[in-house]
Amino acid sequence: MRTAATIATALAALLLLVPQTAIASEDTVADPRLPEASRRLQQYLRIDTTNPPGNEREAVAFFADIFEREGIAYETVEPEPGRGSIWARLEGGQAPDIILLHHIDVVPADPRFWKHDPLAGIYENGYINGRGALDTKGLGIMHLEAFLSLARSGAPLERDVIFMATADEEAGGRLGAGWIVRNRPDLLEGVGLVLNEGGSGRVLGNRIVFSVEVTQKVPLWLRLNAVGPAGHGSSPSPRSAVTDLVEALERLRQDPFAPRIVPAVGNFFRDLAQLESSASDLADPEGLIAQPERLAALHRTNPMLHALTRNTCAVTRLKASSKINVVAPAATAELDCRLLPDQGRRAFIHELRKRLDQPSISIEVLMSFAPAVSSTDTDLYRAIEAVTARRFPGSTVLPAVTAGFTDSHFFRDLGIVAYGFSPAVIPGSDQGGVHGNNERISVQNVERGWRTMLDLLETITVAPDRRPVPADLTPTAGGQD
C-alpha cells in the first residue's frame, strides 16, 4: 500500500514537468498522465448527473464496475427509474460502523458562464474543472480511493466501513439518503458514525483551518399561493394575485427577521476571531448584531456568516400567467427559508404570515427537516484532530455551523453522529465554485485528500499495532500544485 501511494505521489510530481496545454483534453477517456484518483475524478465529472433530472444510474454503473474489478460486494437501488444509489461494505469488528457518504447528483451549470465545458472534466494548470469537483464528486473520489486502499491492505478492521454514494441530495435527498433511511433500515444497523460533506480546509493567515460541520441551519421550503381577479392585460384591475404577491414579498424584504446568536454560532464566531485578525468583529457576536451597521457590513463582505445570525428567506421562483396579455387569477412564489437550529417551524410560519400581511396568500410547506447537532466528544472527532495535525502541522480544527443543508440530517435524526469534513484545502478564490461558475479542485487536493482520508480511516478502524506508518505526509498549504 505504501509503495502504491509513493508511485502516485511521484506521478503527481511529474505533472509539474509536463506542459499544461499538453494535458488539457476534452476526450471522454481520462488523461493517463494524471494519478489514478484524479483520473477517476475526471471520468466521474464527465458523467452528467445534473439534478433535475439526476440520472445517477450512470454514475452507479461507474462505481459498480470499480467494485467488480476490486472484488468488493456492493448493492444498488433505484427508487425511480434512473435515480440510483450504491453502497459497498468492508466488514470489521464490533465498534460502531462508519459510513463514507457523498451525493452523486449536481446542480445545473450554464456553459455560457464557464471557462470550460462544465461536464468535460478539463485538466488545466494543476486543476480539474467541472460541475461537482467540490460538491461532491471530488470528496466521493477521496472516499473511494481511501476505501479501496483499506480493502487492499487486508488489515483487520475494528468496525465496518461503508462507502455510500446517493442520489437526489440537491433536491432534498428524498430519492437518495432519505429513501435509504426510510426503506433500508437494515443497512444502518450498527452504524454510529457518518463522514459527509459540509466542511473543508482553508488558509487563514499562515494557518490551515479545518471546519467540521456539526449542525446546520434547517431548510424550510415554502410556496406562497396568491389568488385574485383575472382579466385582460390591457385593462388591469386595482389589485391582482401578482400585485398582492409582489407587495407581500416587498414587505418581507424590507423587514428581515431579527438577528440572534445561538450557542453553536457564537462559539464558531469566537473561534474564527481568534484565528483571523480580519475577523475581529466576530469576537463579540452579541455586540455585532446589536449594531445594524456592523451587521450590514458583514452581510456585504460575508453573506454566509451573516446568514448564521438570523432566520432567512430567499425568493427563488416566481410564477404567474403563461401569456403576456393575461392577468392570471393565481400567482406563486417559492421561498428557500433557512432557520436557526433552535427555531420551531410552526412559530416561524406564524411570524412569516404576519410579515406578509396579505390574507389572499396561503403558505404551503414543500420541504422541512428537523434540527440536530452532533457532539464533538467522539473518537472520530479526536481522530480528525490528530490526523489533520499530523498531515498539516500547525493546522486547527473547528466545529462549525453551516448555512446550507446536507444529507447528514437524515442520520442525525436517528441519533447517528454525522460530521461534514473534507481534507481538501480550498483557496478562497475557488470556494465560489460551489453552485457557481468554474467549479474546480486541484490535483494536489485530490491526491493529498484521499491519503489523508485513508490515514483517518486507519486511525479509527485498525488497531494501533496493526497500522502502517503514515506515508507521503505533504504539509504544504493551499490548493494549487
- Check which CATH number belongs to the domain holding 319 and give it: 3.30.70.360
Note whether residue 204 is domain-resident.
no
228 and 339 together in one domain: yes
Share of the chain above pLDDT 90, in %: 85
223 and 179 together in one domain: no
Share of the chain above pLDDT 70, in %: 91
Higher pLDDT, 22 or 167: 167
Question: What confidence tens digit (pLDDT) does each residue in 381-418 have?
Answer: 999 999 999 999 999 999 999 998 999 999 999 999 99
Q: What is the pLDDT of residue 117?
A: 98
Task: Taking residues 329-354, report their average pLDDT.
Answer: 96
Task: Taking residues 262-268, report their average pLDDT.
Answer: 94
- 396-402 and 207-216 as β-strands: parallel, antiparallel, unpaired? parallel
Note whether residue 460 is domain-resident.
yes
Q: Quickly list DSSP for 388-418.
A: HHHHSTT-EEEEEEESS--THHHHHTTT-EE
Q: What is the pLDDT of residue 5?
A: 33
The SS3 assignment for 273 reads helix
The SS3 assignment for 65 reads helix
Mean of the per-residue pLDDT values of the chain: 91
Highest mean pLDDT among 26-35, 185-194, 204-213: 185-194
122 and 52 together in one domain: yes
Q: Which residue, 470, 468, 449, is CA-closest to 144?
A: 449
347 and 445 together in one domain: no
Tell me the pTM: 0.85
**pLDDT band at residue 212 under the 50/70/90 scheme:** very high
**pLDDT band at residue 371 under the 50/70/90 scheme:** confident
Q: What is the pLDDT of residue 466?
A: 78
Note whether residue 475 is domain-resident.
no
79 and 187 together in one domain: yes
Number of H helices, E strands in the chain: 16, 18
**pLDDT band at residue 325 under the 50/70/90 scheme:** very high
* Angstrom distance (rounded) from CA 34 to CA 145: 14
Is the pLDDT at 282 greater than 80? The verdict is yes
122 and 177 together in one domain: yes
Is the pLDDT at 481 greater than 70? The verdict is no
Q: What is the pLDDT of residue 251?
A: 97
Task: Taking residues 325-350, report their average pLDDT.
Answer: 96
Task: Taking residues 311-324, report their average pLDDT.
Answer: 97
Question: What confidence tens digit (pLDDT) does each residue in 420-449 have?
Answer: 999 999 998 999 999 999 999 999 999 999
Lowest mean pLDDT among 31-40, 127-136, 306-315: 31-40
170 and 284 together in one domain: no
Structural domain count of the chain? 2
Higher pLDDT, 120 or 27: 120
434 and 362 together in one domain: no
Note whether residue 223 is domain-resident.
yes
Is the pLDDT at 174 greater than 80? The verdict is yes
Q: What is the pLDDT of residue 187?
A: 95
